[in-house]
Chains A and B, each alone.
Chain A
């Protein structure tokens, strides 16, 4: 079976917007990220298991708001109280997660094929987000994540790096094209390179 990515029909490579007379290196970069394992992990309210003792890819779950725990392959985003979103390039991690998180205490859901992922990289990345999202992005630091809305579309923001800003946006797959349209429209002012 051929896998068709969420933004396959809308994402085109090239230079767009106000890019003329600008150094291509400094331009905002927009790309689609594919082939990631995305798993939602939720601990049931009546569960007494200590999630701090559980281990995924040498990472421990953290119940701190906005926090992301990460290594080179895997990032675990705080999504809400006892609610996490795991994103990993290791596709076979799902088996380990299902084994470690017993179904009597945790709801583990594979969302790999139900999210569209857009990555923004460059000094204007936060400015693009400010144009459609009510969150104060000045306080968002490296390894922070939030859930919010962009032009009314619910999305998750994962701040991967801050030098330069590298931000991943997750939206429901069915809203992916709308979010992509909104993000690229807001990026035209700065000029962007679509990878």
Chain B
């Protein structure tokens, strides 16, 4: 069981959170020509790193805010948590 420090509420159990995927994926810019390949990569292509990974989580049973979590996928160690609009 992980304990995640929500930047809004403090240290809480993983039970209260919902995983939201890779936080480094950037949406193609609006009103610009996007190739099928770029769109396909944005929608489907994800890295599966062994080690540090920046992830989105939602504190669904708490403050309901989206947050960023830097976590090691191998050891599950959590290095840092940020508000969704903050950069690492």
Chain A residues with CB under 8 Å of B11's CB are 136
Mark interface residues in B1-36 (1 if CB within 8 Å of A CB, else 0): 100000011111101100000000000000000000
A80 pairs with B65, CB closer than 8 A: yes
A134 pairs with B12, CB closer than 8 A: yes
B78–chain A nearest beta-carbon distance, Å? 16
9 contacts between A and B (CB under 8 A): A65-B9, A65-B10, A80-B8, A80-B62, A80-B63, A135-B13, A146-B9, A147-B63, A154-B61
Q: Which residues of A contact B (CB under 8 A)?
A: 65-66, 79-81, 83, 134-136, 146-149, 154
Assuming the contacts A80-B64, A154-B61, asked whether A149 and B8 have C-beta atoms less than 8 A apart, the reply is no
Chain B residues with CB under 8 Å of A147's CB are 9, 16, 61-63
B8 pairs with A135, CB closer than 8 A: no
Neighbour of A148 across the interface among B8, B62, B64, B65, CB < 8 A: B62
Count class of interface residues, chain B: 10 to 19
CA distance A66 to B11 in the complex (A): 12
A66–chain B nearest beta-carbon distance, Å? 7
Assuming the contacts A65-B8, A80-B8, A81-B8, asked whether A134 and B63 have C-beta atoms less than 8 A apart, the reply is no
Having A147-B61, A149-B61, one finds 10 other A-B pairs with CB under 8 Å, namely A65-B8, A65-B9, A80-B8, A80-B65, A81-B65, A147-B16, A147-B62, A148-B12, A148-B16, A149-B16
Q: Which 8 A-B pairs have the closest CB atoms?
A: A134-B13, A80-B63, A149-B61, A147-B62, A154-B61, A134-B15, A65-B9, A80-B64
A44–chain B nearest beta-carbon distance, Å? 15
CA distance A146 to B63 in the complex (A): 9
CA distance A149 to B64 in the complex (A): 13
CA distance A134 to B15 in the complex (A): 8
